[in-house]
Amino acid sequence: MKKRVGFTLSLLLVAGMLAGCASGKNSGENSKEGVNANGGGKQISLKFSIWGNDTHKQMYDTMIEKYREDHPNINVEIMTIPATDYQQKLSVMMASKTAPDIMWMMERAIPQFLGAGQLADLSSLKTDASYQFDDLYPSTLDLLSKDDKIYGIPFSTPPNMIYYNQSLFESKGLKTPKELYSEGKWTYDEMVKAAEAIAVPDQGLYGINLIRPNGWTTSWIESLQTLVWAYGADYFSEDGKQFALNSPEGEQAIQFFSDAMFKTRIHPKPGDQTTFETGKIGMQQELFSYMGKAKAITDFKWDIAPMPSGAGGQGVTLGYAGYVVTEGSPHQAEAIEFVKYLTNQENMTVTSQFFVPSRKSVLESDAFLNQGPSPESVKTAVLEQIGKGKVRQAFTNFQKIDEKMKIGFDSIYTQSVSVPDFLSHLEKEVTPVLNP
């Protein structure tokens, strides 16, 4: 009897706390409305989240300082979140209505937040004459557009490219990817030929590496999309409802990759961590953001070139990051104004020291062209590619699809199944998640 009383008592206690929690929610909402009501000349503090490092933060701090000259009542506080945990952290913050006002947003997170109605409509920027909206590359805007409205402004849209070890090419007397490209002969066949000439797998020297550092677990989407496109295949149908890789072209693409790893051994094996800086990789698929690391290389000469072309073209993939504003933020108007400031021509020129800009005028500026090993290299490998590049397909339930694809691709990496079996098995696994 007594036991039961004790237990009931503890239940009541917990129930009481749960009730307290529920009432707390209401008061929280009320107080937010209160904040909403006052605006005007009062001090306003905006929160701005990034996944970058301290150099990025310093760059923004300078911009903010300048912004405050014209907007003395606005203060912007930068919030740094580790890149790998960015989406989780923001989701939890949104659930508790404590999300920052302005956010960097990565491509795979956009559909999730856009679909849940968490991003504010920025369409007012389209009609703002001083903003020059038309200067933004149209190909970079699709992901953040929905029903003719725009929900964010991209600030980093890097096409993928090849970093190649020029010293290795010279020592073997090979034509470099850049030379082949200018002759119009830069194809997958030529790439394989060069890779075979360079590779000495028993000494850990490889001709080509499509996988980015530590990128084996995200390889299907991060590293192999371009290959799949270049072979004229795709992962999913255009409406995203069907698995499309189980086709002759898809099989060729995967077979090519499998052979490169296990048969001709021109490509590092799964789980390998050899990096381009070591000089043991002839050609490395990478993004513009790798430039900083590459510039630290002193042991050999290197340069950049566009992706080679296959039956389906080059399949250039655009990386993607944009600024978005939180829907329901108490300072939404001020936040939009600040995004407008961040993405104007002057500031995008500042950010272009790290990010491939989405504004045509900035992209073509000397300041940007001088970022790379040489202006012509940047012109061919970045400028000429950005218009051709495609952003990867977006899904609201990307993480579920990602998990299935990752598990599936591992069966190629562990050589447990043949390529046709892998494709039919993956089709069976992935199709249900595409039609939730």
Partner 1 sequence: MSNKRKKIASSTLRFVLLALVAAVILTPFYWMITTSLKNETKVFQFPMQLFPSPIEWGNYAKVFSEQPQFLLHYWNSLYIAALVTLGTCAVAALAGYAFAKIPFKLRNVWFLVLLSGMMIPSEVTTIPSFLWFSKLSLVDTHFPLIVPPILGAGGIFGVFLLRQFFITLPNDLDEAAEIDGCSRWQILIKIMVPLASPVFATLSIFTFLNSWEDFLDPLIFISSSEKFTLPIAMKLFTDTAGTAWHLLMAASVMATLPLLLIFFMAQKKFIDGIATTGLK
Partner 2 sequence: MTTYTTRANRRNNWYGYLFISPMMLGFLCFLAGPILYAFALSFTDYSLLHPASFVGLDNYAQLMGKDPLFWKTVGNTLYFSAGLIPLNLLLALSLALMLNQKLPGTGLFRTAIFTPVVTSIVVWAIVWKYVFATDAGLLNQILGYFGIQGPAWLYDTALVMPVVIVVSVLKKVGMNMVIFLAALQDVPSMYYEAATIDGASKWRQFHSITLPMIAPSIFLTLIITLIGSLKVFSQIIVMTEGGPGTSTYVLVYYIYQLAYKVFDIGYASAVAFILFFLVLVLTLVQWMLRKRWVHHEQ
The pair of three-digit structure tokens given for residue 289, joined into one six-digit string: 């953001």
Instruction: Report CA Rg, the chain.
Output: 25
The pair of three-digit structure tokens given for residue 216, joined into one six-digit string: 């084996």
Per CB under 8 A, 414 contacts partner 2: yes
Q: How far is residue 244 from each of residues 142, 231, 267, 322, measured CA to CA in Å?
A: 22, 13, 25, 29
* Distance separating alpha carbons of residues 137 and 357, to the nearest angstrom: 9
Per CB under 8 A, 2 contacts partner 1: yes
Per CB under 8 A, 367 contacts partner 2: no
* Distance separating alpha carbons of residues 234 and 140, to the nearest angstrom: 20
| Binds partner 2 (CB under 8 A): choice among 14, 35, 200, 311 | 14
35-64: which residues touch partner 1 (CB under 8 A)?
47, 51-55
Closest CA to 49 of 95, 86, 88: 86
> Any residues with CB less than 8 A from the CB of 384 and at least 6 apart, and which?
306
Per CB under 8 A, 296 contacts partner 1: yes
With contacts defined by CB under 8 A, name the span among 111-119, 170-178, 226-234, 285-293 that binds partner 1. Answer: 285-293
Cβ nearer to partner 2, comparing 27 with 96: 96
Angle at 218 between CA 308 and CA 292, to 5 degrees: 65
* Distance separating alpha carbons of residues 44 and 6, to the nearest angstrom: 50
| Binds partner 2 (CB under 8 A): choice among 19, 200, 311, 407 | 407
98-117: which residues touch partner 1 (CB under 8 A)?
98, 100, 106
| Contacted entry of partner 2, partner 1, none for residue 113, CB cut-off 5 to 8 Å set by kind | partner 2
CB of 204 to partner 1, least distance (A): 5
* Distance separating alpha carbons of residues 207 and 126, to the nearest angstrom: 46
| Binds partner 2 (CB under 8 A): choice among 5, 18, 37, 129 | 18
Q: What residues form DSSP beta bridges with 350? A: none
Q: How far is residue 383 from each of residues 135, 262, 359, 365, 379, measured CA to CA in Å?
A: 14, 35, 11, 11, 5
Contact present, 94 and 326 (Cβ < 8 Å): yes
Cβ nearer to partner 1, comparing 88 with 397: 88
Contact present, 87 and 116 (Cβ < 8 Å): no
Q: How many CB atoms lie within 10 A of CB 433?
A: 18
Q: How many CB atoms lie within 10 A of CB 29?
A: 11
| Binds partner 2 (CB under 8 A): choice among 54, 183, 403, 421 | 403
With contacts defined by CB under 8 A, name the span among 23-31, 33-41, 262-270, 306-314 that binds partner 2. Answer: 262-270
59-88: which residues touch partner 1 (CB under 8 A)?
77-80, 82-85, 88
With contacts defined by CB under 8 A, name the span among 61-69, 209-217, 400-408, 409-417 that binds partner 1. Answer: 209-217
Question: What 8-state DSSP symbol labels residue 335?
Answer: H
CB of 210 to partner 2, least distance (A): 15
Cβ nearer to partner 1, comparing 205 with 378: 205
| Contacted entry of partner 1, partner 2, none for residue 187, CB cut-off 5 to 8 Å set by kind | none
Per CB under 8 A, 19 contacts partner 2: no
Q: Annotate each residue in 203-232 with x if it binds partner 2 (CB under 8 A) or - if it does not, as one string.
A: -x-----------xx---------------
Angle at 261 between CA 275 and CA 248, to 5 degrees: 125
| Contacted entry of partner 1, partner 2, none for residue 213, CB cut-off 5 to 8 Å set by kind | partner 1
Cβ nearer to partner 1, comparing 94 with 125: 94
Contact present, 347 and 339 (Cβ < 8 Å): no
Cβ nearer to partner 2, comparing 151 with 229: 151
Per CB under 8 A, 269 contacts partner 2: yes
> Any residues with CB less than 8 A from the CB of 57 and at least 6 apart, and which?
50, 78, 80
Closest CA to 141 of 280, 323, 290: 323
Pairing of strands 302-305, 161-165: antiparallel
Given the rule CB under 8 A, which residues bind partner 1? 2-3, 6, 10, 21, 24-25, 28, 47, 51-55, 77-80, 82-85, 88-89, 92-93, 95-96, 98, 100, 106, 204, 212-214, 273-275, 277-278, 280, 287, 289-290, 292-293, 296-299
Given the rule CB under 8 A, which residues bind partner 2? 10, 13-14, 17-18, 88, 91-92, 94-95, 112-113, 116, 118, 204, 216-217, 268-274, 278, 280, 397, 399-400, 403, 406-407, 410-411, 413-414, 416
